[in-house]
Amino acid sequence: MDINEMIRDAINASIPNKYGTLTSLAKAAGVSQGTLSLFMNGKRPSMQVDTAWRILEVLGYDLGKKQNDPYAYIPKVEAKAGAGSSLVTCGDVLGYYAFRHDFLGRENIHPASSVMLEVMGHSMDPLIKHKDTILVDQCAKDLRDGYIFLVGLGDELLVKRVQRTPRGWLLRSENKDFADIPVEGPDLENFRVYGRVRGFGRVI
C-alpha cells in the first residue's frame, strides 16, 4: 500500500470514532481544512512533512506499528538551515524510505524525528558523494568527536565530520580539496546542530 494511502486510511478511521468531521480533525491538528480536503480526495498527492506529522501526532498513529508493519517510513524532504535548532523543510514530501523497526531500535535511531536528505556537493567524497541520500536523526544533536553531523553555519547547511578543538569545533571534509572550517568565538553564535548522519545510500 502507498504510504499516502495509509495516511488517508488512518484519517478515515478516525473521523467516525473520534473527530466526527474532517473540519474537526483539521482544527485539532492546526492545519487548513482545504489542504486536508484536497489530500483526502486525491487532488493533492502528498502533504508537507510537518503537516503530515502534526496530523499523525493528533491521531496517535504510528505508520509502522499501527498496522503491525515491521517497517517505519522515513520521509525524504528538501530542507534549508533554520534560525533555531530545527530544519526548515521546503515543499512536499519527496518520498519515503522503509527501515525495519528492529534495526532502528538496535541502532538507537528515532524514526519520528528522522529525515532523508539529498547531499549536494563533493566535499565529503569519496565517503558521501554528490546526490547521495543521507539519513539524519534530529534527536541526536549532542556533537561527538569524529562523527558526521548535519549542521548549519549562517545560512549554509553542511554535512561534515566534527572534531573538538580547544576553542570550539572543526568541521572537516573527507575530500582533501576542501579546507576544514573552524567554528569558534563569534562563529559559535551562528552554529547550529540539526542531527547526526546515521547512514547514507546511492543509486548505482
What confidence score (pLDDT) does residue 67 get?
52
- Residues 158, 200: one domain? yes
What confidence score (pLDDT) does residue 64 get?
46
Domain boundaries, position 19: 1-64
Convert the pLDDT of each residue in 172-200 to its tens digit.
999 999 999 999 999 999 999 999 999 99
Percent of the chain with pLDDT over 70: 80
In this structure, how many other beta carbons lie within 10 angstroms of the beta carbon of residue 76? Answer: 16
What confidence score (pLDDT) does residue 91 get?
63
- Domain termination residue (choose one: 42, 64, 86): 64
- CA–CA dist 122, 115 (Å, integer): 21
Per the model's pLDDT, the better-predicted residue between 30 and 166 turns out to be 166
Of the ranges 7-21, 35-49, 176-190, which one carries the lowest mean pLDDT score?
Answer: 7-21
Give 126: exposed, middle or buried? Use CB within 10 Å, 0-12, 13-18, 19+: exposed
Convert the pLDDT of each residue in 146-171 to its tens digit.
999 999 998 889 999 999 999 999 99
Distance of CA 113 to the CA centre of its chain: 6
Where does 27-176 show beta strands of DSSP type E?
71-80, 88-100, 114-118, 133-137, 148-153, 156-165, 168-172
Convert the pLDDT of each residue in 67-111 to its tens digit.
567 888 888 888 766 555 556 666 667 888 889 989 999 999 988
Nearest to 91 by CA among 134, 130, 144, 47: 47
pLDDT at 44 over 90: no
What confidence score (pLDDT) does residue 60 get?
67
- Residues 85, 43: one domain? no
Give the β-pairing of 181-184 and 156-165: unpaired
- Residues 83, 105: one domain? yes
What confidence score (pLDDT) does residue 165 get?
96
- Residues 93, 173: one domain? yes
- Domain termination residue (choose one: 24, 39, 64): 64
Q: CB of 171 within 8 A of CB of 151?
A: yes
Count of domains observed in the chain: 2
pLDDT at 18 over 70: no
Output the domain CATH number for residue 80: 2.10.109.10
What confidence score (pLDDT) does residue 126 get?
94
End-to-end, the C-alpha distance of the chain in Å comes to 26
- Domain termination residue (choose one: 64, 83, 102): 64
Per the model's pLDDT, the better-predicted residue between 1 and 10 turns out to be 10
Give me the chain's average pLDDT, please: 83
- CA–CA dist 148, 160 (Å, integer): 5
Cell numbers linked to 107: 541502532
pLDDT at 135 over 90: yes
* 23-31 mean pLDDT: 83
The pTM of the whole model exceeds 0.85: no
